[in-house]
Structure formats: C-alpha cells, structure tokens
Amino acid sequence: MAEPGGDAARSAFPASVVVAQRELQDLWLGGRGLPLMLAFTLMSSVTSYLISSNQTLNFLEVRESVSLSVRVAVAVSALLVVLAAADAISGERERGTLESLLLTPAPRRSLVVGKGVAALSLWLAAVILSMPYVWFLGRGVGVVGKAAVGSLVVSGLLALFLTGLGLVISIVLTSNRVSLALSLFMLVALYAPSQLATVGLQPSAGDLVQRLDPFTSGLRYLDALVVGGHSYGQDVGLLLAPGIGAVAFPVAALAMSGHLALFGRDRP
Amino acid sequence: MRRVLAVTALLLATSSATSAPARGSMPAGIGSDPVTVRLDRSAIDTSLGGRIELTSTVRNATRQPMSGLIAHLNVFSTDPGTYVDPEDWSSHRTQFPAAVPAHGSVALTWPVQAVNSGRLVVYVAVTDVQQHRVTVSMPLELTVSKRQTVDPGGVLPLAVGVPGAVAVVLGLVLLRRRRTA
C-alpha cells in the first residue's frame, strides 16, 4: 500500500479517510478488486444458469431460487471480505511494507480503519453485482425487494463481523499464510452449521446452536424473509448474533490496533 | 362320487388360498383378490420436470367394509444405469385410505413430478396389514423425454452480460494503468 500523507494524519478521522482512499485505490485500480468481482460474477452467472434450469424444470420454486441465489451471494461476499481483512496487516508484514506504514504519522487505528473499509468495499460491490441475478430469478412474485433488503442487511452484518475477525487475526499473527488459513477455517466453521442444520441434535440444542452462530441465524432470517414470506420484524431475533458480531469484532480490532506492531503477537 | 367332488373342491380351495399372495402381483381385477388396485392410465408420455397426477382406485371385493389399508406408490427405471430416488418423484408416496365399504372403492390421487428421463415404471401397492397381503396394480409405463435448452428461462443474456460488463471495466482499468505506467 502507498503511504498515507502526513498532512492528513493530524487527527484520526482524516487520516482514516486518507488511508481508506489509498486502500480503495490500490484495491480497485491497482489490485485484486476487479479480478475478484469478475470471478464473483462468473460464479454468480453459472449459479444463476443452473438455478434457472432447475426453475424451468419445475425443480425449484421461485422463492427457493431467490433464496439460493442470495445465500450464495452472502457466502461468497463473506469469503471475499474475510480474505481481504485477513491479508490486511499480516500481508503487509510479509511483504515488508508494514514498517514504512508504521513510520507514517497516521495513527495505527487509522491504518486498521482504512484496511477495514477496503475489505468492506468488496462486500458492497459483491452485493450490488448480485442484485441483477436476484431480480431476474425473483421477478414476478414480489420477493425481489425483500430479498435485496434482507441480503443487504444480513450480509452487511456478516461483513462487519468478518472484517473485524479477519483484522484481529491479521494483527495478532505474523505469518500471512497462517492468518489466511485461520480466517478461512473460521469462516468454514461458522458456515458449516447452516448447511448441517440440526441433524442429530435435540430441537432446543439445535435451535440454540443456530441462534448463536451468526451465519446460520443470518441465513435463517433470510430464508424466513424470502421463502417463508415473513415480515422484516417477525424474526428479528435471529439478527442478534450477527449484530453482536458486527459490533464486537470491529471494536476488538480497533482496540487491538493500538498494539499494532511490526511483528505479530505470536512471535516473541 | 360326492366324496370325490368334495375332495376336488377342497383341493381347489386350498390351492386358491395358498396362491393368494402370489396372485397379489397379478393384474388388478383378475382372480378373486379381496382387494384390487387399478391405476387410471397404463402409459404416459411427459418431459423432464413435468408434473402429472395419477389416480388409483382401491376396490374392496368382499362383503365386509375394509379398514387399515396402506397404499404406496413406487417408481423405478427399466434402465439399469439410471438411479431413481422415488422420494424425489413424490413427497406423498404413502397414503392411508379411509375404510373401503363392502363392494365399494376409494380413489387416491398421487401428484408426481418427472425427475429422471427415460423409460420408467410406476405402480401402486396396497397392503392389508391384518391379512398380511400385498396387492399391486398393473404397471404404468412412463416415458420421460429430456428437455435441452441453451437459454433456460432467458437467463443467458444476464449470465453473459454482467461478467462481460465487469470484464470491460477491468480491461479499461488495465489499459489506463498501462498508459500511465
């Protein structure tokens, strides 16, 4: 990343803005942002093609098609965000560019905020690019609006949560590979219960697991909204876990940013 | 002579009773099964994904009302290479019909969706748990044709257009980067 200007580092806020601008510029004009979005849209196209085939063969209802499409978009946008956040600090360390960043007058918190904003921009772009597919699959049954708002809210909360989680891991760990691997493992571990549902668990225990896991509860909220036709407020309790994660982990990342060092905490 | 006739009648009756379970697999309406089941059609042509509704008629040939019958729909492929999961074809494959009146019948409807292509066979079996008897309908021959389309539901312009637009933006950014470098 290019070093943020010293003028902007007079206060934390402008420095954060400058760092975010530079990070966004690096990501979208000189980095992986657009190739990642190309890969995302190609995957969305293949998924939508298959979903549409199933819809044509009457194997999938329209609401189920939209729900499936939204689920894929939420999962993949979460993957993009967690990869960008996990690479944010430990990647700079490994590339040997963190030292020059730390030498700039920009507060360390601003560096973390800027990196977080860049990671979140991937989520926003992915959600925007997924909308044409959601519209196409859901047109005619009045579910597109709910699916769009629901996916924006749920994926937004999950993106904030995973940005915070990825940044915390990236701040702590020296090795970028370990940071990426751990973040991916966390993502898979959080996503798995949504696929396994509550097989083999008691109803109450299964429900508890689903409510505690931000991914599962967020996706359940989306399902209730899109497939079940529930109102926005009917299952709002399911947004509690993603909401807590969306606040707690970014706050933890900001709290740890003061201790941002050239080497991670895993290195003595 | 009377004794010979009585023995012959007894032998015939015994033979009829012992062959009753085997006759359950015979076509409905043939023989003297107390319960028969018949499908409303013997052959159907449809295409993959097509929804059809079959009706089976369970008839009670006895003088007593009959209860506790269980009707079950099954489907299989005649092609050994095709795996068919009947659960995919119909989510309501078992029905518990109400008591069938003496010499009466009940009609059962079966919503079915064609999930595999090829030649398949559908039948309905009725089990009388109390009498340990299974009666099977005549097979319905189902021919499911494939549906091949390049553009299902008109999704192709969108599937090509969105990545195409992103690729164009990416190309422009790369071009700009090369010029400024």
ipTM value for the complex? 0.84
The chain-wide mean pLDDT, for chain A, equals 87
Which has the higher per-residue pLDDT, A263 or B140? B140
Mean pLDDT of B142-149: 87
Which stretch, A58-67, A116-125, B6-15, has highest mean pLDDT? A116-125
CB contact under 8 A, A45 and B162: yes
B150-169, pLDDT tens digit by residue? 888 889 999 999 999 999 99
* Stated pTM of the model: 0.75
Which pLDDT belongs to residue A13? 57
Q: Name A130's Cβ contacts closer than 8 Å, sequence gap at least 6.
A: A44, A69, A70, A73, A77, A151
B122 Rama class: left (phi>0) / alpha (psi -120 to 50) / beta: beta
Which pLDDT belongs to residue B152? 85
Which pLDDT belongs to residue A151? 95
A131-151, pLDDT tens digit by residue? 999 999 998 888 999 999 999
pLDDT at B17 over 90: no
Q: Which of A91, A80, A98 shows the shortest CA–CA distance to A32?
A: A80
Question: What gap in Å lies between CA B123 and CA B139, rounded to an integer?
Answer: 5
Which pLDDT belongs to residue B178? 87
CB contact under 8 A, A41 and B173: no
According to DSSP, the β-strands at B94-95 and B69-77 are antiparallel
Which of A26, A36, A58 to mutate: most B Cβ within 10 Å? A58
Residue of A nearest to B159 (CA): A45
CA distance A73 to chain B (A): 14
According to DSSP, the β-strands at B118-128 and B51-60 are unpaired
For the ranges A21-35, A101-115, A204-218, A238-252, which has the lowest average pLDDT? A204-218
